[in-house]
Amino acid sequence: MEPKGEKIDHPAGACYNTALPPPLEDEYKEVAWAVPAFDKEANAPRPIEPIWIARPKIGPHQVRFEMLYCGVCHSDPSCGLNEWGGCVYPFVGGHELLGKCIEVGEGVTKVQVGDYVGVGCMVDSCLECEYCKSDEEQYCANGMTMTWNSPKTHGRVLGNPETHTHGGYSGSSVTHEHFVVKIPEGMDIQRAAPILCAGITLWDPIRYHGLVDGPKKVVGVCGLGGLGTMGVKIASALGHKVVAISTSASKESMAKEKGATGFVVTKSEESLKANAGTMDIIFNTISADHDINTYLPLLKTNGIMVMLGGVTKPHTIYQMGLMFQRKTITGSLIGGMKATQEVIDFCHKHNIYPDIKMIKAKDLNEAWKALCEGKGDGVRFVVDIKASLQDESFLPK
């Protein structure tokens, strides 16, 4: 379904400027921080600013929560700046939502008013196909509904069916209980939000490739940003030997503090050579176009390269190299709801948290810029929503 509004041609794929209608009767008005539109004259999206959006009132299975913290994933600018094409403006980013439940529908059993809750990248799917039935809703054969920039397709996202989903840079949200995870009592809620995307995106392939219960392996983690550093922490907590792989030599001590015992600088031929053929599996979280052939030689025979970054430029691969060492290149997308609850519980039990930098909504443009320039430094930005709501200078009129 093509969004209603003005279609704007763009090299990455068309994007759309739409006008948000006022709240319907079954909706309420809420503060959000959004990229309001694509500025055709400047040929660029406008910076993030405060706007009003409509959120749905709860139905029998919906959970309403006041937003406390929302992580900033690199996917937010990638979508919001239309690097992937298809952005529908106004775009409200944020898919690492952590809040406190303030209202539940009469049929809700998972959480109660007062509980801390989390929502990740996905807010609906068909729940009937083979993937949904095997707890992998992210691969729904009928297409999952993402937390932001998605049409409302399966009926569990209530409110105006004509508008697209809005992410967590906002005062509150409403989600069907199936797509809500429970944040255990005692968890550090200021730091837990990024587990809902960065954590699960590493946990799910770690689980899928047998690294939760299976034998100990040599695990490479490539790209030491929000995702990569969670990969280092989780894989080392599981007892694997973790080798961090980075473009920046300066990240070695940081990676080792987080649990890596080995370090490869990809800008150094020597470092690449010294580590060739040593890794069983590499989780590749690089967010920009790159030459995968730099990294494949690090794998052992039978090694697996798991592609996780939102990279759109096709790769060129020397196939014979794969054949002669039976290597696999695969991908992985976030994780299902069962696995998302699992990673939250695992991180709570093992006291694993991302290293974060707390910001306010008015800092979002700067945070996006830092991510786009590769200056995240292994620290996840997290928006303090309550503090942002108190900042009169950055609220909608």
In the complex, the residues that contact ligand NAP under the rule CB under 6 A are 73-75, 78, 197, 201, 223-228, 246-248, 251, 285-288, 290, 308-310, 332-334, 371, 374, 376
Please give the sequence-ordered ranges of beta strands (E in DSSP) within 35-163, or none if there are none: 38-39, 44-45, 49-56, 62-71, 88-89, 97-104, 116-119, 122-124, 145-146
Q: Which residues contact 220 (CB under 8 A, 6 or more apart)?
A: 242, 243, 244, 245, 264, 279, 281, 282, 283, 295, 298, 299
Q: Is residue 164 within 8 Å of 149, Cβ to Cβ?
A: yes
187 contributes a contact to Zn ion by CB under 5 A: no
The Cα 263–Cα 360 span in angstroms is 33
Query: Least CB distance from residue 295 to ligand NAP, whole Å?
Result: 9
Per CB under 5 A, does 138 bind Zn ion?
Answer: no
If binding is defined by CB under 5 A, does position 382 make contact with Zn ion? no
- State the chain's maximal CA–CA distance in angstroms: 65
Residues in the chain, total: 397
Indicate the residue among 163 and 201 with the shorter CB distance to ligand NAP.
Answer: 201
Q: Which stretch binds Zn ion (CB under 5 A): 192-200, 202-210, 279-287, 353-361?
A: 192-200
126 binds Zn ion (CB under 5 A): yes
Nearer to ligand NAP, 20 or 73 (CB): 73
Q: Is the peptide bond before 90 cis (omega within 30 degrees of 0)?
A: yes
Stretch that binds Zn ion, among 48-56, 196-204, 321-329, 353-361 (CB under 5 A): 196-204
Query: Counting contacts by CB under 5 A, is residue 75 touching Zn ion?
Result: yes
Which of Zn ion, ligand NAP, none interacts with 129 (beta carbon under 5 to 8 A by kind)? Answer: Zn ion
**Which listed range, 65-73, 161-169, 235-243, 358-366, lies at the site for Zn ion (CB under 5 A)?**
65-73
Smallest separation, CB 368 to ligand NAP (Å): 10
User: Choosing among Zn ion, ligand NAP, none, which partner's interface includes residue 287 (Cβ < 5 to 8 Å by kind)?
Assistant: ligand NAP
Question: Is 197 among the residues that bind Zn ion (CB under 5 A)?
Answer: yes
DSSP helix/strand/coil, 319: helix
10 Å Cβ neighbour count for 214? 10
CA 297/CA 278 separation, integer angstroms? 9
Least distance to Zn ion, CB of residue 214, Å: 26
Assess 140 for contact with Zn ion (CB under 5 A): yes
Among 31, 48, 63, 73, which residue interacts with Zn ion (rule: CB under 5 A)?
A: 73
Instruction: Choose among 308, 305, 278, 276: nearest CA to 292.
Output: 305
What residues does 182 pair with on adjacent strands?
117
DSSP characters for 332-346? --S--HHHHHHHHHH
Q: Which does 126 bind (CB under 5 to 8 A by kind): Zn ion, ligand NAP, none?
A: Zn ion
Query: Least Å distance between CB 343 and ligand NAP?
Result: 13
Min CB(60)–ligand NAP separation in Å: 30
Q: Which helix (H) or strand (E) holds 356?
A: strand 356-359
For Zn ion, give the closer residue by CB, 168 or 259: 168
Of 99 and 228, the one with the shorter C-beta distance to ligand NAP is 228
In the complex, the residues that contact Zn ion under the rule CB under 5 A are 73, 75, 125-126, 129, 132, 140, 197
